[in-house]
């Protein structure tokens, strides 16, 4: 009963001194060293950095997929990761893919919200990459996470599709914390509220672009 009264507040995610070491056969690689970061309720955060700088390692730790690190993570958020691959059932319709995770009502509502209702009965394999990415994002959103992680969301997309997906993430980030890894500096500068640059496992820049 006491637990009913003391309703826990949402504690937002904090990373304290996260260090990640990979042990290979011949050497030891410090992929992340003493990363300390704090996230907020909403905003679009871009994580930028050259190949091999530790971006994917960081996403895997934030998502909970990788628990083998030193340091501490606090917070009690539900996290969804939007992987680079679409991870959809290609031979099912958009609607069937989405109703796997949520009710018909919620699915219709989200299709309307993102102007995708016309695609409801399309088979996923007939969609363009940009449309698939939007379906994948909607499916992740239907799970109602507090934090949405995206690994290179525009990697397989042309310019127009990229704009569409970023607009969508931008809208979502008004109410949720969206963290995306990207190579594309111009895109990050245009859409993000905050940019974190990492290099060799260390944070080089952490700047707020807009509130
Ligand atoms: P990014 O996503 O920025 O390209 P990664 O997080 O994939 O970088 O990798 C960071 C560093 O850790 C790199 O030096 C990479 O070679 C190394 N690394 C990544 N995954 C492994 C692994 N499973 N085993 C050994 N080393 C790894
Ligand atoms: Mg990577």
pLDDT at 6 over 80: no
- Give the model confidence (pLDDT) of 134-181 as tens digits: 999 999 999 999 999 999 999 989 999 999 999 999 999 999 999 999
Return d(Cα 70, Cα 75) in angstroms, integer. Answer: 16
- Give the model confidence (pLDDT) of 48-65 as tens digits: 999 999 999 999 999 999
Mutational pocket test of ligand 1: of 18, 27, 51, 52, the residue with most ligand atoms within 8 Å of the beta carbon? 52
pLDDT value at residue 199 = 96
pLDDT value at residue 103 = 97
Residue 206 phi, psi (nearest 5): -145, 95
Q: Would you state the structure tokens that stand for residue 143, as one six-digit string? A: 């799970």
Residue 61 CA, ligand 1 centroid: distance in Å = 12
Return d(Cα 7, Cα 200) in angstroms, integer. Answer: 41
pTM (2 d.p.) = 0.91
For ligand 1, atom 22, name the residue with the nearest CA. Answer: 22
pLDDT at 3 over 70: no
- Please list every protein residue whose CB sits less than 6 Å from any atom of ligand 1: 22, 24, 29, 31, 49, 51-57
Return d(Cα 123, Cα 90) in angstroms, integer. Answer: 7
Return d(Cα 51, Cα 199) in angstroms, integer. Answer: 9
CA pseudo-torsion sign 44, 20, 133, 205 = positive
Return d(Cα 6, Cα 161) in angstroms, integer. Answer: 46
pLDDT value at residue 5 = 47
**Contact 53/62 with Cβ under 8 angstroms?**
no
With cut-offs at 50, 70 and 90, classify the pLDDT of residue 183: confident
pLDDT value at residue 24 = 86
For ligand 1, atom 16, name the residue with the nearest CA. Answer: 52
With cut-offs at 50, 70 and 90, classify the pLDDT of residue 2: low
């Amino acid at each position: 009963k006491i637990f009913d009264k003391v309703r826990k507040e949402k504690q937002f995610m904090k990373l304290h001194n996260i260090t990640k070491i990979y042990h290979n056969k011949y050497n030891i690689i410090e992929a992340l060293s003493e990363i300390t970061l704090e996230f907020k309720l909403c905003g679009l955060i871009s994580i930028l950095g050259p190949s091999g700088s530790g971006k994917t390692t960081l996403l895997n730790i934030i998502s909970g997929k990788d628990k083998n690190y030193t340091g501490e993570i606090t917070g009690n958020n539900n996290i969804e990761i939007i992987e680079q691959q679409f991870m959809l059932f290609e031979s099912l319709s958009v609607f069937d893919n989405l109703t796997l995770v949520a009710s018909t009502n919620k699915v219709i509502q989200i299709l309307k919200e993102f102007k995708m209702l016309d695609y409801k009965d399309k088979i996923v394999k007939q969609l363009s990459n940009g449309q698939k990415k939007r379906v994948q994002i909607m499916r992740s959103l239907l799970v109602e996470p507090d934090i949405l992680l995206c690994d290179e969301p525009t990697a397989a997309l042309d310019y127009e599709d990229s704009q569409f997906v970023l607009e969508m993430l931008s809208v979502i980030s008004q109410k949720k914390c969206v963290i995306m890894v990207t190579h594309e500096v111009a895109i990050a500068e245009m859409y993000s509220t905050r940019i974190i640059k990492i290099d060799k496992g260390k944070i080089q820049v952490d700047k707020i672009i807009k509130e």
